[in-house]
Amino acid sequence: MSNIITRFPPSPTGYLHVGGARTGLFNWLYARHTGGKFVLRIEDTDVRRSTRASVDAIFEALEWMGIEWDDGPYFQSKRFDIYKEYVRKLLDSGRAYYCDCTPEQVEEMRKRGMAAGGKAKYDGACREKGLSAGENRVVRFKAPLTGATVLEDAVKGNIVFQNAELDDFILERSDGAPTYNFVVVVDDITMGINTIIRGDDHVSNTPKQIQLYKALGADLPTFAHVPMVLGKDKARLSKRHGAMSVTEYQKMGYLPDALINYLVRLGWSHGDQEFFHRNELIEKFSLDHIGKSAGVFDPDKLLALNAEHIQAAPAASLIPHLTPFLKAMGIAAEDQEYLSKVIETLKPRSKTLLEMAEAALFYYTDEIVYEEKAARKFLKPDVLDPLNLLVTQLEGLNDFSEKELEGAFLRVMDTTGLKLGKIAQPVRVALTGKTASPGIFEIVEILGKERVIARLTAAARFIEEKS
């Protein structure tokens, strides 16, 4: 196969779920790995359930993840003329026929098939009637009655389907609407798709699609059916397992590269490596490393991996991801050099960007609000003198480097006889309002002389007023 062409065909009936996103990722990565093409197709033939809001949500999720498409987006709802043309081809070649059996009659056929120990299927009653188009008539595919249809799957190996167990499925409904198995084959043929990577819940559809390819004289694509993603209870993945839409993870402060890393590892592996940058995944992704067993979605592992990606990322690269969270909290953060320093101190302690934004607030606020428990424990009368001494020492510094700051703290320690912890923790509360924060010297250096002295003075005043 020369140029690989893959596709991602979401249905716009809701947000892009992480399971669907993983399918899109596999197709995108394989196209990028092979230097091929990635096509986006919106499967919106279900007009009643498809919405523009869902289409926009799919676009937003893919763009946030950085999954760019090379062709499309195509909309099935705008391709009905093409489907009509292909129905006519199958009718003219004798590979399709009109059927006037009612739904009640078809249901009765299925019951008879089951009662006889066979399959619940249409029995071909109209197969040789030679009916023409008419009201309440569907178009059925004239499927082979004998032999077998073989799915040569790149993940699962060969799967054999006996044709006698399949039936003459509907291509076009009585209202003229085409059916799923028919339109996806027409789309894949006309779009040149030669590699189809999708969930293994589609395996049962594939023999019908293979028969359609052959009836239309088209080359078969490579099929790769990947195991589904399950929850910890081994049930099909759902919201109750902590798996939400891609945009929800964006709002919760996950990095796109962390989500991509985690989703790809649910079903694909490269040795024992767990942490991957995007470019590594593109370089190493291949179909032969897709596993045969289902991946289990674990929100805790995803959170831990997100923390790893935050820690590994250069501070400057996190700025565009963090800025929207800061803006939502009323912080403009226009000084990118200052923000980069802030991020550097918060990276080791942040599991999400939301956590990081909340932890960054003290760097930007004009007035520190002390946590009640922190103030009660550390802003007590016995630290008033050390705080005032530290203010005096800091006022005398021209250089606010870490070395000079350490010297100022040591002089206060010598004068008071207190250990660093006894001084640093009240200072931490004075500067941040909390008992947990980045290193005290990092904070002081970034906040700068003016703000540090103002906050220490305010804390001393708070202690005086309280006592």
Per-domain boundaries in the chain: 5-69+181-230, 81-180, 239-312, 316-466
Amino acid letter, 322? L
Quote the CA–CA distance of 112 and 121 in Å, as a whole number. 9
**Which one from 78, 84, 129, 239 is the annotated catalytic residue?**
239
* Alpha-helix residue ranges (DSSP H) falling in 285-419: 299-312, 315-328, 336-346, 353-364, 372-378, 384-395, 402-416
Q: Using alpha carbons only, what angle is made at residue 346 by residues 332 and 406, rounded to the nearest 5 degrees?
A: 110
410 conformational bin, left if phi > 0, alpha if psi -120 to 50, beta if neither: alpha
Any idea which residue has 């067993």 for tokens? 293
Q: Using alpha carbons only, what angle is made at residue 80 by residues 76 and 86, rounded to the nearest 5 degrees?
A: 110
Any idea which residue has 């020492």 for tokens? 393
Quote the CA–CA distance of 40 and 152 in Å, as a whole number. 25
Any idea which residue has 């004075």 for tokens? 430
pLDDT at 99: 98
CB 167 within 8 A of CB 149: no
Quote the CA–CA distance of 163 and 270 in Å, as a whole number. 38
Concatenating the DSSP letter of every residue in 223-259 gives EEEEPPEE-TTSSBP-GGGT--BHHHHHHTT--HHHH
pLDDT at 211: 98
CB 212 within 8 A of CB 142: no
pLDDT at 319: 98
CB 370 within 8 A of CB 433: yes
pLDDT at 466: 86
And the tokens for 61? Answer: 């999720």
Q: How does DSSP classify residue 310?
A: H
Q: What's the pTM value of the predicted model, to 2 decimals?
A: 0.92
pLDDT at 329: 95
CA 311 to chain centre: 20
And the tokens for 219? Answer: 């080359």
Q: What is the pLDDT along the chain (467 residues), one digit of tens a residue?
A: 469 999 999 999 989 999 999 999 999 999 999 999 999 999 998 888 899 999 999 999 999 999 999 999 999 999 999 999 999 999 999 999 999 999 999 999 999 988 988 889 999 999 999 999 999 999 999 999 999 999 999 999 999 999 999 999 999 999 999 999 999 999 999 999 999 999 999 999 999 999 999 999 999 999 999 998 888 777 777 766 666 899 999 999 999 999 999 999 999 999 999 999 999 999 999 999 999 988 889 999 999 999 999 999 999 999 999 999 999 999 999 999 999 999 999 999 999 999 999 999 999 998 999 999 999 999 999 999 999 999 999 999 988 888 899 999 999 999 999 999 899 999 999 999 999 999 999 999 999 999 999 999 999 999 999 87
| Phi, psi torsion values for 158, nearest 5 degrees | -75, 135
Q: Which architecture, in CATH terms, is 316-466? A: Orthogonal Bundle (1.10)
Residue 147 burial by Cβ neighbours in a 10 Å radius (0-12, 13-18, 19+): exposed
Compute CA distances 10 → 24, 45, 389, whole Å: 9, 11, 65
And the tokens for 293? Answer: 């067993």
239 belongs to the catalytic site: yes
For the chain, how big is the Rg over CA atoms in Å? 32
pLDDT at 2: 63
Picking from 411, 364, 404, 405, the residue whose alpha carbon sits closest to that of residue 386 is 411
User: Topology of domain 5-69+181-230, per CATH?
Assistant: Rossmann fold (3.40.50)
Report the b/e string of 37-63 with b at 16+ CB within 10 A: bbbbbbbbbeeeebeeebbebbbebbe
Amino acid letter, 177? A
151 DSSP β-pair partners: 159
pLDDT at 336: 96
Any idea which residue has 């991801």 for tokens? 321
| Phi, psi torsion values for 274, nearest 5 degrees | -110, -40
User: Topology of domain 81-180, per CATH?
Assistant: Glutamyl-tRNA Synthetase; domain 3 (3.90.800)
Quote the CA–CA distance of 191 and 293 in Å, as a whole number. 31
User: Topology of domain 239-312, per CATH?
Assistant: Glutamyl-tRNA Synthetase; domain 2 (1.10.1160)
Residue 139 burial by Cβ neighbours in a 10 Å radius (0-12, 13-18, 19+): buried
